[in-house]
Structure formats: C-alpha cells, structure tokens
Amino acid sequence: MTSRSVCNLLLFVCACVLAPCAFADLPGSSIYRLDVPLVDQDGRAFAFAERAGKPQLVSMFYTSCPYVCPLVIETLKKTQAALTPEQRAKLAVLLVSFDPDRDTPARLGSVFDQRHLDRSTWTLARTDAKNVRKFAAVLDIQFRALATGDINHTSAIVLLAADGTILARTEKLGEADPEFVAAIGHALR
C-alpha cells in the first residue's frame, strides 16, 4: 500500500467517524445527512457531509455519456459565467458519476482536464453502486443502465445552501437558466 493510499484510507475513516457528529448541526432537510462516501478525480476519499459550509451546485453525470452529460457540464460552466467573479469564488460544483465501474478517479481526472474545469470550485466524484442510487434519489434524478453500457437518465442541476438544504433546481440545459442564476445570486448574499 502506498503512502497516498494509506493517507486516503485514514481520511476516509476519519470522515466516517466524524460525519455523524456533524449531522447534529444540520437541519433535518439537509441532504448532507445522506451518508455517502465519495472519491474525487484526484483519488481523495471524502464524505459527502464534508461539502457543507458553502453553497454549491450538484448534479450527476457519467464520463462516457456522448450527449447529455457534456451538456450538463457546459450548462454548469455557463451558469458560473453568468455570475460575478466574487460569486463564482463562493460557489462549489459537484458532479457525481452514475457509473462507478468505469468512472475511476483516473477517468474522472482525464475528463476534468479535458473540460478545463476549475480546481478551486469543481469536483468530479464517484461512489459505489448502492450509494449512486441513494444520491440520485435525494436529488430526484432517475436513471437506469442499458445493456449497451449507456445510462438512460434525467438531468437536473440542484442548488444547495451551505447547510445542504435544496434551494432551487433547474432542468434547463444548454444555457444558463436566468431564474436559477437569480436563485444562486440570492443564496450567495
């Protein structure tokens, strides 16, 4: 086991032990109460609850999706571009993969670099199949794997408050949704 693997394992164990303590400070409607372990594009393990503390945009995707998922990423980038630089700096973006079998940290990292995503605000992550279902359910995103390896899914971008309560959602893709951008601006005040 490499020192990086040991470090990631220790971070994951600490997150799992400390996460229940953090739940006491969260409102009952917080989706951070969902106990989901994640691994990001750099191979860093973390608990979903660690994301608490700043507003963020959350959605789901998979890296081999040829159509809708690249559009989700571009819509998120356009949504960020509709904000001021100060607002962008205060808003995190999290995309969780539907496809834990193929979306390894290396694959997530490759897509991260190909799409020129901002490391200061963006995170691409994966979890196991059981937790993918939980995560999709809490975001009200439906999906099913097809025999071809593709994944049929609905798409939504969800705005979370710093405490994990859902403030707004949009299913409009291709351009920044003005009403959604206004909700983000309100959340960042």
- DSSP sequence for 149-179: S-EEE---EEEE-TTS-EEEEE---SS--HH
Helical (H) or strand (E) element with 72: helix 68-81
Q: What is the pLDDT of residue 136?
A: 97
Q: What residue type is 103 in one-letter code? A: D
Q: What is the pLDDT of residue 28?
A: 80
Q: What is the pLDDT of residue 6?
A: 38
Task: Provide the domain limits for residue 119.
Answer: 3-187
Cα–Cα nearest to 102, from 80, 133, 126, 118:
126
Specify the pTM.
0.86
Q: What is the pLDDT of residue 14?
A: 43
**Residue 73 to residue 157: CA distance in whole angstroms:** 10
- What string of DSSP letters covers 96-119? EES-TTT--HHHHHHHHHHTT--T
Q: Which parts of the chain register pLDDT below 50? A: 1-22
Q: What is the pLDDT of residue 50?
A: 95
Q: What is the pLDDT of residue 10?
A: 37
Q: What is the pLDDT of residue 175?
A: 97
Q: What is the pLDDT of residue 24?
A: 58
Number of domains making up the chain: 1
Domain at 133, CATH number = 3.40.30.10
